[in-house]
């Protein structure tokens, strides 16, 4: 332990807000993937105010100490882990919802607020904040903003970036700026608000967020579609979208995923199909009735095995709860799960699913396929019952081939998880050398000392690595 660092931090913001014990530091050494344990921070700081954050970041800047912002640690790319020691800023104590403005359809909140709590407060006012990462029971608003997180509702409503109007940010020198504001329209210079959104803590520390809100939909309806083959399910997704139907959620799930989810489903689904679609429609009662009939007609034309329109709200809720619990369920009996995050054009999903099945066969790796298929964001998951050097090599080869396939189909290496450590090696493939050089120039302008979350987003060296 660095005694001098511990003493300095406690002096600045109080000993009760600083953790330096070995057990505490170990607890912050990974995110939800668990296998991105690259090193421990030298200290963990839990700020209560933006002044605390500015004080700590300014102190770190003068001494060239790395600073790693962190929300709930529920990320899946290693983005909030420390590979070079430094100060980890746990933002969860900055968790106030400051304002919900019904007249302006906006809200202001600190970044440590848990997303599910934010949803509940907003919905009490009959308003709606659509972004819904599967980890929303624990993830924070700031973590969502930092990674441009998405979720099942992305098909209709987009992702976090579509709802951010303004930010309060502590820059790497400890100064504080306010970007954007509460106006829906803003056209003044460079859009620093959305530059910071998705920057994964590499440009500064986001401490406050102004979000755009929508009216809360009046009604919703769940539909479960059982398909004979994985290809039929993937084609059904493409057909639903091409027929002009835009569900609020449209999820693709393999037989194995549904069999696992059946431990939580009430009633459980009969697992005699190869793939399933979980669909939710929202809007006015008349709208969702009409759309449910259209979805049924599309699926019947494809001769799917079964179409169930779920009228019982409790039953419908159990399906979506099970869907959001899929990753924890996998982790309950597997040694390691690597959740990929490739997005492809929605009409290319059938090709992508077929290619992943071939990759699994050729590499000898078990790969489960699920995803937010309505927006093309697929999550092929490497399922490892045992961990060995040989298995790690096979898994890496499978990931490389999955990423290459996604890019060949006109896709992207990440739809919602961000880059962090996991996807660094693939950024150049998608963005090209010129764009990566622009990334680095932006990083240099914001953070010339390279203290903010070093080692993330790109691979090659230098002080801003």
**pLDDT tens digits, one per residue of 16-64:** 999 999 999 999 999 988 766 668 999 999 999 999 999 999 999 999 9
Asked whether the predicted pLDDT for residue 251 surpasses 60, the reply is yes
Q: What confidence score (pLDDT) does residue 462 get?
A: 42
Asked whether the predicted pLDDT for residue 216 surpasses 90, the reply is yes
Which sign, positive or negative, has the C-alpha torsion 142, 123, 125, 285?
A: positive
Asked whether the predicted pLDDT for residue 219 surpasses 90, the reply is yes
Structure tokens at 282: 């929202």
Averaged pLDDT of the chain: 95
Q: What confidence score (pLDDT) does residue 33 get?
A: 82
Helices in 130-191 by DSSP H: which ranges?
141-147, 154-157
Q: What confidence score (pLDDT) does residue 239 get?
A: 95
Q: What span, in angstroms and rounded, lies between the C-alpha atoms of 288 and 159? A: 22
Phi (first) and psi of residue 110, to 5 degrees: -75, 160
Q: What span, in angstroms and rounded, lies between the C-alpha atoms of 114 and 101? A: 19
Number of H helices, E strands in the chain: 15, 19
Asked whether the predicted pLDDT for residue 188 surpasses 50, the reply is yes
Distance of CA 337 to CAs 281, 326, 327, 343, 370, Å?
A: 31, 11, 8, 19, 13
| Domains of the chain and CATH, by start | 3-90 (3.30.43.10), 97-215 (3.30.465.10), 219-327 (3.30.70.2190), 334-408 (3.30.70.2740)
Asked whether the predicted pLDDT for residue 167 surpasses 70, the reply is yes
Chain length of the chain: 465
Asked whether the predicted pLDDT for residue 465 surpasses 50, the reply is no
Q: What confidence score (pLDDT) does residue 267 get?
A: 86
Measured between its terminal Cα atoms, the distance across the chain in Å is: 25
Segment 391-417 mean pLDDT: 97
Q: What confidence score (pLDDT) does residue 333 get?
A: 87
Q: What confidence score (pLDDT) does residue 2 get?
A: 75
Q: What span, in angstroms and rounded, lies between the C-alpha atoms of 187 and 176? A: 21
- 314 sits in which H/E element: helix 313-324
Q: What span, in angstroms and rounded, lies between the C-alpha atoms of 384 and 366? A: 7
Q: What confidence score (pLDDT) does residue 247 get?
A: 98
Q: What confidence score (pLDDT) does residue 3 get?
A: 80
What is the band of 1 on the pLDDT scale with cuts at 50, 70, 90? low
Q: What confidence score (pLDDT) does residue 37 get?
A: 63
240 with 296: CB under 8 angstroms? no
Q: What confidence score (pLDDT) does residue 83 get?
A: 84
The pTM assigned to this predicted structure is: 0.94
Determine which of 1-5, 25-29, 292-296 has the lowest per-residue pLDDT on average: 1-5
Asked whether the predicted pLDDT for residue 309 surpasses 80, the reply is yes
Q: What confidence score (pLDDT) does residue 459 get?
A: 86
pLDDT digits (tens, 9 = 90+) for 448-458: 999 999 999 99
Percent of the chain with pLDDT over 70: 98
Distance of CA 326 to the CA centre of its chain: 15
269 with 318: CB under 8 angstroms? no
């Amino acid at each position: 332990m660095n005694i001098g660092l511990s003493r300095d931090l406690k002096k600045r913001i109080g000993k009760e807000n600083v953790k330096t014990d070995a057990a505490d530091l170990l607890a912050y050494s990974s995110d939800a993937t668990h296998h991105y344990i690259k090193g421990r921070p030298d200290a963990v700081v839990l700020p209560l105010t933006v002044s605390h954050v500015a004080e700590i970041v300014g102190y770190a800047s003068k001494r060239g100490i790395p600073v790693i912002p962190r929300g709930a640690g529920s990320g899946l790319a290693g983005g909030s882990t420390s590979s070079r020691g430094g100060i980890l800023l746990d933002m969860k104590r900055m968790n106030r919802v400051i304002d919900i403005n019904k007249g302006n359809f906006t809200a202001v909140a600190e970044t440590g607020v848990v997303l599910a709590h934010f949803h509940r407060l907003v919905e009490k006012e009959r308003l709606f904040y659509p972004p819904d990462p599967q980890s929303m029971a624990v993830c924070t608003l700031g973590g969502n903003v930092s990674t441009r997180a998405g979720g099942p509702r992305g098909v209709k409503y987009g992702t976090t970036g579509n709802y951010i109007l303004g930010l309060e940010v502590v820059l790497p020198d400890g100064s504080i700026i306010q970007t954007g504001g509460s106006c829906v329209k803003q056209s003044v210079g460079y859009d620093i608000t959305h530059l910071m959104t998705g920057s994964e803590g590499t440009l500064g520390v986001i401490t406050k967020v102004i979000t755009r809100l929508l009216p809360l939909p009046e009604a919703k309806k769940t539909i479960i579609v059982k398909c004979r083959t994985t290809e039929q399910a993937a084609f059904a997704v493409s057909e639903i979208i091409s027929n002009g139907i835009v569900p609020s959620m449209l999820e693709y799930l393999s037989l194995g995923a549904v069999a696992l989810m059946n431990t939580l489903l009430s009633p459980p689904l009969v697992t005699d199909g190869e793939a399933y679609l979980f669909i939710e429609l929202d809007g006015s009662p008349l709208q969702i009735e009409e759309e449910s009939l259209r979805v049924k007609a599309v699926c019947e034309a494809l001769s799917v095995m079964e179409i169930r329109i779920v009228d019982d709200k409790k039953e419908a809720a159990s399906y979506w709860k099970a869907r959001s619990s899929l990753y924890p369920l996998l982790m309950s009996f597997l040694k390691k799960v690597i959740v990929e995050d490739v997005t492809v054009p929605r009409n290319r999903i059938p090709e992508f699913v077929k290619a992943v099945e071939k990759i699994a066969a050729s590499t000898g790796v078990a790969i489960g396929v699920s995803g937010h298929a309505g927006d093309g964001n697929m999550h092929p998951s490497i399922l490892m019952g045992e961990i060995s050097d040989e298995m790690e090599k096979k898994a890496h080869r499978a990931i490389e081939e999955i990423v290459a396939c996604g890019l060949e189909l006109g896709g992207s290496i990440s739809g919602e998880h961000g880059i962090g450590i996991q996807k660094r090696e693939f950024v150049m493939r998608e963005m090209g050398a010129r764009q990566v050089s622009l990334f680095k120039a932006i990083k240099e302008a914001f953070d010339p000392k390279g203290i903010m979350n070093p080692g993330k987003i790109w691979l090659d060296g230098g002080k801003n690595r």
